[in-house]
């Protein structure tokens, strides 16, 4: 065995790997979307497996509360206030120097995803918000790129491997013996992202580290199957686990593409990629505040329900017209003004990516 492959010997003994599979991994590029709890574990496992090039994108800086579950970081990273993507790059370079890591410190959005994802072999979800997942789903379907989707909050996690249907049916997973392994996309299953404030976040519901690592491990397993060409082994069901109640479910969703009328897969509408759906941000002149707006038709927000979740983080005042909450985010004070139509103003910053990060943490997008 070549010296360059010796570190992967036990992995190469697995069915479907061998030297050919390992060399496929070395020639692959994966885009890790987000470098929080999920993204850290995903990036580390992909690097240890020998995926040749990792691009890691994240907008955030490490804080002390991250260390409970974000395995690539330590206390010195917190002291040094290093961006998560850069800290991950440094750590991975010490784990596997043969892997090229590109750290992208930016806020993923419809204006930059095509640049950052150009030429990658797979997208792997380490995001903390639905808007980013739907954006990645649009990219995956439009360009025929596999997308491993996953998320975890509280003690619950969900994951699903998306092998998009392509216009000409010529993707590698559509032409293997035994028939196409193409799957429904995210919009086949849930046509639109849930409105802001309707789902729990790690800041409001907490998060159990083993739930994160379980989902991240599943995502990486699916990614390794895809990158080694083992499409017949990709899990066709949607995984849902609750580690607190000991419930594991695999939901059969294969017929969602055939039975549905997906705007993305079947009609070629890429609403999130085009910026038609999703959120926008505008700095408010002279006010040290950023206004966030959501372009799709969101349901009226449940301000009372959001207030219940936020009261543990500071003073909250509600009226029929708006909610105002004082948030102390790791020593940094912000005021969130939230309106029933999904519009929000984040006071305490003039930077759009900071405002979006605070909103995603406490409200969800």
* Cα of 357 vs its chain's centroid, Å: 13
For the chain, what is the domain count?
2
Gap between the Cα atoms of 167 and 171, Å rounded: 9
Sheet holding 156-162, edge to edge: 100-105, 53-58, 29-33, 122-125, 147-153, 156-162, 237-242, 247-252
Same-domain pairing of 225 and 264: yes
Pair (349, 336) in one structural domain: yes
> Is there a catalytic annotation at residue 202?
yes
3-class DSSP state of 154:
strand
Catalytic choice (40, 149, 188, 202)? 202
The verdict on 202 and 337 lying in the same domain is no
Domain finish residue from 252, 273, 294? 273
Looking at the fold, whether 240 and 357 belong to one and the same domain comes out as no
Dihedral sign, Cα of residue 292, residue 156, residue 113, residue 351: positive
| Residues 210, 307 share a domain | no
- Residue 80: the pLDDT is 85
pLDDT per residue of the chain (365 residues) written in tens, 0 to 9: 567 899 999 999 999 999 999 999 999 999 999 999 999 999 999 999 999 999 999 988 888 888 999 999 999 988 887 889 999 999 999 999 999 999 998 888 898 999 999 999 999 999 988 889 999 999 999 999 999 999 999 999 999 999 999 989 999 999 999 999 999 999 999 988 877 667 778 877 889 999 999 999 999 999 999 999 999 999 999 999 999 999 999 999 999 999 999 999 999 999 999 988 877 776 766 568 887 877 665 556 788 888 888 888 888 888 777 788 898 887 889 988 888 877 788 888 888 888 888 888 888 76
The pLDDT score that the predictor gives to residue 330 is: 78
Where helices occur in the chain by DSSP H, the ranges are 9-12, 18-26, 37-49, 75-80, 84-95, 113-116, 130-143, 186-189, 202-205, 209-227, 256-259, 271-274, 303-310, 352-362
Same domain, 220 and 312: no
Q: State residue 345's pLDDT score.
A: 85
Do both 185 and 315 map to the same domain? no
Q: What whole-number distance in Å separates Cα of residue 291 and Cα of residue 352?
A: 8
Q: What is the pTM of this model?
A: 0.84
Last residue of a domain, one of 227, 254, 273: 273
Domain shared by 119 and 26, yes or no: yes
Tell me how far CA of residue 78 lies from CA of 30, 255, 274, 348, in angstroms: 26, 46, 36, 21
Rounded distance, CA 147 to CA 222, Å?
Answer: 10
Could you tell me the CATH number of the domain that includes residue 55? 3.40.50.720
Give the contacts of 59 (CB within 8 A, at least 6 positions apart).
Answer: 105, 106, 107, 108, 353, 356, 357
Tokens describing residue 75 = 């206390």
- Per the CB < 8 A criterion, the answer to whether 55 and 104 are in contact is yes
**Residue 229 shares a structural domain with residue 294:** no
Query: Quick one: which of 216, 221, 235 has its CA closest to 158?
Result: 216
Are residues 324 and 182 both part of a single domain?
A: no
Same domain, 288 and 210: no
Check residue 305 and give its pLDDT: 86
Q: Which structural domain range is residue 344 located in?
A: 278-362
Question: What pLDDT does residue 86 have?
Answer: 92
CATH number for the domain including 350? 3.30.310.10
123 and 196 inside one domain:
yes
Of 211, 241, 273, the residue at which a domain comes to its end is 273
């Amino acid at each position: 065995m070549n010296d360059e492959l010796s570190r992967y010997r036990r992995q190469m003994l697995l069915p479907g790997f061998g030297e050919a599979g390992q060399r496929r991994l070395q020639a692959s590029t994966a885009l890790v979307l987000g470098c929080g709890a999920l993204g850290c574990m995903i990036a580390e496992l992909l690097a240890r497996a020998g995926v040749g090039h990792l691009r890691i994108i994240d907008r955030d800086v490490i804080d002390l509360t991250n260390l409970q579950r974000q395995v690539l970081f330590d206390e010195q990273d917190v002291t040094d206030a290093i961006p998560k993507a850069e800290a991950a790059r440094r750590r991975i370079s010490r784990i596997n120097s043969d892997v090229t890591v590109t750290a992208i410190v930016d806020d993923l959005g419809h204006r930059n995803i095509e640049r950052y994802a150009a030429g990658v072999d797979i997208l792997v979800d380490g995001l903390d918000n639905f808007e980013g997942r739907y954006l990645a789903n649009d990219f995956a379907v439009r360009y025929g790129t596999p997308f491993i989707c996953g998320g975890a909050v509280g003690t619950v996690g969900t994951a699903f491997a998306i092998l998009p249907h392509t216009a000409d049916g010529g993707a590698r997973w559509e032409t293997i013996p035994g028939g196409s392994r193409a799957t429904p996309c995210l919009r086949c299953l849930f046509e639109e992202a849930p409105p802001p404030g309707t789902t729990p976040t790690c800041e409001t519901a907490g998060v159990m580290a083993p739930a994160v690592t379980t989902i991240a491990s599943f995502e990486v397993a699916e990614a390794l199957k895809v990158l080694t060409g083992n499409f017949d082994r990709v899990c066709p069901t949607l995984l849902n686990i609750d580690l607190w109640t000991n419930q594991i479910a695999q939901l059969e969703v294969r017929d969602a593409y055939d039975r549905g009328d997906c705007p993305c897969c079947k009609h070629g509408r890429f609403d999130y990629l085009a910026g038609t759906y999703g959120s926008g941000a505008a700095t408010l002149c002279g006010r040290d505040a950023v206004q966030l707006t959501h372009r799709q038709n969101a349901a009226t927000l449940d301000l009372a329900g959001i207030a219940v979740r936020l009261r543990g983080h500071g003073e909250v005042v509600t009226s029929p017209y708006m909610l105002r909450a004082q948030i102390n985010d790791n020593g940094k004070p912000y005021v969130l003004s939230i309106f029933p139509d999904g519009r929000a103003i984040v006071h305490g910053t003039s930077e759009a990516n900071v405002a979006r990060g605070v909103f995603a943490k406490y409200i969800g997008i």
